[in-house]
Amino acid sequence: MKISFLLHNAYGIGGTITTTFNLAQALAERHEVEIVSVLRHREHPSFALDPRVTLRPLVDLRQEKEHELHLRPARVFPRAEYRYGQYSELTDRRIGECLAGTDADVVIGTRPGLNVHLALEAPRHVARIGQEHLTLDNHSPRLRGALRRAYRRLDVLTTVTEADAGTYRRKMRLPGVRVQALPNSVPDPALPAADGSAKVVVAAGRLVPVKRYDLLVEAFAVVAAEHPDWQLRIYGTGREHARLQRLIAERGLYNNVFLMGAAAPMEAEWVKGSIGATASDFEPFGMTIVEAMRCGLPVVSTDCPYGPGEIIEDGVDGRLVPVGDRAALGAALLELVRDDERRRRSGRAALQNARRFAPGPVVEQAEELLAEAVSARRAGRQVARGRARMHQVLAGQGFAARDTALTAADAVRRAIRRGQR
C-alpha cells in the first residue's frame, strides 16, 4: 500500500509534525510512505526522518515567497482556518496538482484546511483520510460550516481522543464517513527510563497562553519554598517567553525555574527529570504527557478537554487537577516531591501504562483503518461500475433515463414488473 501524508510544513516544530513523522516512520516498515509538505522554509527538517520515508515540498518559501500567485489569496483552503494567511493561489494550485497526479492508495490530510483540499480534489481511486489534531469545539462556527460541507466526501475522519470522536458524530452528522479515534504514538525510548531520583520537574511545549505556564510557575513556588533544591525546567519557545521571565523574577524563582528553550528530540531532557507537568486550559491530545510517561515520569496535569483524562490514571501514573487551580496543582506536585517511593512507583506505572501509545499498537490500528478504507473505496468503484453497466443495458432496452438513477437491484425489479404487464 502506498500512503501519502499531506502536511502544512514538515520543516517546522510542533505536535502535528512530530506525530506525523512518528506514524509515517512506523508505517514505512511495511508500506511505501511519503510526506508531502505544502511549505518549506529551510534546507532540512528540524526532526530527523527515516530515509525510507520520502519528503516532498510543494512551495519553497526561500525562492517562492514573492511568487506572483503566492501574493494572491487562496480560494480552496478555507478562509476561516487558522493558517489561511499562509496559503495562496499558488498553494491551491500545487496541492491540486499534487492530488490529481498522486499514485497513492490513500492520502491522509493533517489539518482542517488540507482535509478540505483532500475531500474536494482527490481522485476517485484514492481513499481519503482526514485527521483532526485539534477538536471540533476549538473550531469557529464558520469553519465548522465549511468542514461539514467538505468532510462528507471523506472516507474516514480520525480524532486523537474518543471524546472528540463522539463530539464529531453528534454535531457534524457526516453520513457514510467513518469517525474514529486514533491516538498519537510515541517511539520506544532509546535511553534508559528516569529512576525518580532527580529533583527536577520537566514541562515542554509552545510558550503560548493556552498552555498556562504562568500557572505552573506560580504553583511551583510552593514546591520551591518547601524544597529549594528542586527545579522546574520548561522547554519550548513562544510569545510568552518575556512575560514568563518577568514572572520568574517577580516570584524570586530564578534559582529554581528555568526557561530552557527548544529541544528536539526531548527524550534526553525528560529522562533528566522525575516528574512531568502541564497546566493547559485545553489539550486536544497531550503529546508531551505521553512522551514524559514513556520516559518513566509520572505527570501532574490539569484535567482539561480532551486528552489528559484519557492518558493519565489519576493517583496511579500521575495526577489530574482542576483547570486553573493553582493551589491544587501545587499540592499535587508536592505529593510526588515529598514521597520518594510514591514518585518512583508512579513512574513505573507511567512507563507501563504508556506502552499503549507505542508505535506497535497505534500502527496496528492505523493499518487496519487504512486497509479497510482502501478496500471500501475499491469496492465502491466496482459497485459503481457494475451499476453503470446495468443502467446502460436497461437504457438500451428502452427504459427511461430516470430509471438509470436507481440502484441496479431496484432497476431490475422495475424491469420485471414492467415485463409482467
Partnered with residue 301 across adjacent β-strands are 278, 320
C-beta pairs of 90-94 under 8 Å, 24+ apart in sequence = 90/59, 90/64, 91/38, 91/39, 91/58, 91/59, 92/117, 93/69, 94/38, 94/58, 94/59
Dist. CA 34–CA 5, nearest whole Å:
6
In 3-state terms, what secondary structure has residue 60? strand
- At 241-253, the pLDDT tens digits run 999 999 999 999 9
Q: Mark out the alpha helices in 187-339 (DSSP H runs).
A: 213-226, 241-250, 267-270, 287-294, 308-311, 326-338
252: left (phi over 0), alpha (psi -120 to 50) or beta: left
pLDDT at 226: 97
Note down pLDDT in tens along the chain; length 421 residues. Answer: 999 999 999 999 888 998 899 999 999 999 999 999 999 999 999 888 999 999 999 999 999 999 999 999 999 999 999 999 999 999 999 999 999 999 999 999 999 999 999 999 999 999 999 999 989 999 999 999 999 999 999 999 999 999 999 999 999 999 999 999 999 888 889 999 999 999 999 999 999 999 999 999 999 999 999 999 999 999 999 999 999 999 999 999 999 999 999 987 899 999 999 999 999 999 989 999 999 999 999 999 999 988 999 999 999 999 999 999 999 999 999 999 999 999 999 999 999 999 999 988 899 999 999 999 999 998 875 433 343 343 443 344 333 333 333 333 333 233 323 333 3
CB 319 within 8 A of CB 301: yes
CB 274 within 8 A of CB 347: yes
CB atoms within 10 A of CB 191: 12
CA 237 from centre of chain? 20
pLDDT at 403: 34
Q: Is 410 exposed, middle or buried (0-12, 13-18, 19+ CB in 10 A)?
A: exposed
Phi, psi values for residue 181, rounded to 5°: -80, 135
200-354: which CATH topology?
Answer: Rossmann fold (3.40.50)
Dist. CA 44–CA 250, nearest whole Å:
39
What's the start-to-end Cα distance of the chain, in Å?
A: 51
The CA–CA distances, whole Å, from 291 to 90, 188, 263, 269, 355 equal 37, 10, 13, 11, 11
* Region(s) of the chain under CATH 3.40.50.2000: 2-181, 200-354
Return the DSSP state at 241: H
3-state helix, strand, coil in the chain (%, to 5): 50, 20, 35
DSSP-derived secondary structure for 67-130: -GGGGSBPSSS-TTSTTGGG-BHHHHHHHHHHHHT---SEEEE-SHHHHHHHHHHS-TTSEEEE
CATH class entry, domain 2-181: alpha beta
